[in-house]
Amino acid sequence: MRIFTVILKNNFRRLMEHKSKLLLFLILTSAAIAAALFINTKAEIAGHIAVVSENEIVIPSTYLNITPLEEAPAMSELVSGKYDAAVTFDAQGQYEIQTIKNDDFKQILESILRDPSAYHAKEIRTRGNGTNIVGFMIMFIFMQGISMMFMFSEDKEKKLINRIVSSPVSFTGYLCGHCFFTFAFLLAPVMLMLLAARFIFRIDMGFNLLNYLFLISLLGALATSFALFLIALFRKGDTANMVGSAIVTLTSLLAGGFYSFDKGNKILETIIKVLPQKAFLSMSDLIEQGNDISSWYHYGLYIIVLTVAFFITAIVKTRKDYVKN
């Protein structure tokens, strides 16, 4: 217990020498929450559509943002989210839809194209405010978790860990101290910002604060254990940051942190389903819809199992590298 307390105090002192890291985290988290809230205040639409046709095409629907183009957009513009779909009309008025989104979205788009006046917004199934907010924060919390673990990385690179493991202190307590410190600095700023948004600015947050506390705690624990795993896996902190950032960015985009990435490809769908970010978003969505725990507990259990697995693997790897029997 003593080493745990010492690590917390020492890490706080070290963090104060790197105020830019904390400031960056606060700015990015604020931007993520603000972006999610801004998007939710916009009028609900079915999608942003690129229309390609030799003749002028008029689609009288308030649920589509339409951009006329002379040629079909590149696949990269669909992947980046610039367009949700591209609709190409031939001379006879027949059309072909190109999209990376799922079949449900394609059916909605087809129903609007067939009869725009018969379509109603209630047919659009969108995520709620709360799920969008936590979805936007996923990538930032994971990246900041890796960044906040820099003190453990410094201990390794400066050989300080060799003195720690040779002293009569708990090695597990040492690692737990680093993890708890990182977890606390992921959770506290986010909750303070959410409190301000709820009680000062009176913003509809989707979830109540207890829901947010549960979800951000779960996400923060996973991000912390993943960061510890990466730092334990690589000897250089810069390498861990580079690899971790690439993994987090790709998996968060695929999981749908910013928009749904679903193309009907069975292999891709299988990969997406095993991502913890996808499980987290699915759980958040079910909670926001008011479903009871029996409908989403398996997602939470999956995230907890991964969190424990990353943590145990990091302990075993670090013990193997530094603790001599």
- Amino acid 111: pLDDT: 79
Question: Distance (Å, rounded) from C-alpha 187 to C-alpha 76?
Answer: 35
Who wins on pLDDT, 175 or 47?
175
Who wins on pLDDT, 261 or 92?
92
Mean pLDDT over 38-54 rounds to: 69
Please list the residues that pair with 48 across neighbouring strands: 65
Cβ(280)–Cβ(218) under 8 Å?
A: yes
Q: How far apart are the first and last CA of the chain?
A: 23
Q: Give the 3-state DSSP-derived string for the chain, with helices as H, strands as E and coil as C.
A: CHHHHHHHHHHHHHHHCCHHHHHHHHHHHHHHHHHHHHHHHCCCCCEEEEEECCCCCCCCCCCEEEEEECCCCCHHHHHCCCCCEEEEECCCCCEEEECCCCHHHHHHHHHHHHCHHHCCHHHCCCCCHHHHHHHHHHHHHHHHHHHHCHHHHHHHHCCHHHHHHHCCCCHHHHHHHHHHHHHHHHHHHHHHHHHHHHHCCCCCCCCCHHHHHHHHHHHHHHHHHHHHHHHHHCCCHHHHHHHHHHHHHHHHHHHCCCCCCCCCCHHHHHHHHCCHHHHHHHHHHHHHCCCCHHHCHHHHHHHHHHHHHHHHHHHHHHHHHHCCC
Question: Distance (Å, rounded) from C-alpha 258 to C-alpha 166?
Answer: 46
pLDDT at residue 123 is higher than 50: no
Who wins on pLDDT, 248 or 269?
248
Who wins on pLDDT, 124 or 166?
166
Cβ(250)–Cβ(92) under 8 Å?
A: no
- Would you kindly state where each structural domain of the chain is located, as residue ranges? 2-41+127-322, 47-123
User: Closest by alpha carbon to 56, among 89, 80, 85?
Assistant: 89
The token pair that represents 1 in the structure block = 């217990």
- Computed from CA positions of residues 152, 158, 160, 162, in that sequence, does the dihedral angle turn out positive or negative? positive
pLDDT at residue 65 is higher than 50: yes
pLDDT-above-90 percentage for the chain: 25
The 10s digit of each residue's pLDDT in 87-112 is 888 877 788 888 877 777 777 788 77
Instruction: pLDDT band for 46, please (50, 70, 90 cuts).
Output: low
Who wins on pLDDT, 221 or 171?
221
Who wins on pLDDT, 319 or 230?
230
Rounded to the nearest integer, the mean pLDDT of the chain is 83
Mean pLDDT over 220-234 rounds to: 94
Cβ(154)–Cβ(160) under 8 Å?
A: yes
- Amino acid 237: pLDDT: 82
State the Cα angle at 233 between 237 and 187, rounded to 5°: 65
